[in-house]
Amino acid sequence: MALTLNLKTPIAAEPMTLAEAKNFLRVDLDDDDAFISSLVSSARDYCESATMRALGTESFELVLEDFPSDRDFIEIPRPPLQNIISAQYKDCYGVMRDIDPETIILDYDSEPGRIVLAYNRFWPIYIPWPAGAVIINFTAGYNAANPMPEGIKQAMYLLIGQWYTNREPMVDRRLTELNYSVDALLQPHRVITLEW
């Protein structure tokens, strides 16, 4: 089943502050603040892509071609899941309809989070819209109540340090060592999802 994940509201505050990055780099002057801030964003992008997680609060739209025919749940990507805002489907006339809340259970405890059919319930029976019939809007990401794991933060520090120190492309042994260290830090946090 094909899916599309659309970012609706990007991260408002990076999970690592400029002050934290500068402290790690041992930089006291403000001359490179804009550059260091861009490195923080780039390191977060890299770690999000490598782990398939949202490292700060973001909102997304998950679009599926239809409800799954072979399982009683829908996995919500980019954990940790904070909130499912809406769960809807589009009928053959293009009319958006809410999934009956009595039919589903919102599972925030699993990782990734899920929408699960309640006992003895079924996905809606309908003629689906030809493209992207199921649309789920949700927020995800680490926050003050659920902070980003230290392993991911350390991987960000390594990337920022390497990029700040070496502003030219690297081709020697140190790049391999950096990649191994970053990979080792991120590996325990990679999300395993079902194939759609």
pLDDT in tens, 12-67: 999 999 999 999 999 998 999 999 999 999 999 999 999 999 999 999 999 999 99
Which architecture does CATH list for 16-55+147-189? Orthogonal Bundle (1.10)
Q: Is the dihedral of CA 34, 52, 146, 87 positive or negative?
A: positive
State the pLDDT at residue 196.
Answer: 47
User: Who's near 78: CB < 8 A, 6+ residues apart?
Assistant: 5, 52, 53, 54, 58, 60, 112, 140, 141
User: In which residue are the tokens 């309640």 written?
Assistant: 118
User: In which residue are the tokens 């390191």 written?
Assistant: 43
Q: Is there a cis peptide before residue 79, judged by omega within 30 degrees of 0? A: no
Break the chain into its structural domains and give their ranges. 16-55+147-189, 58-140
Global confidence as pTM:
0.88
* Model confidence pLDDT, tens digit, residues 58-114: 999 999 999 998 899 999 999 999 999 999 999 999 899 999 999 999 999 999 999
Confidence band for 128, pLDDT divided at 50, 70 and 90: confident
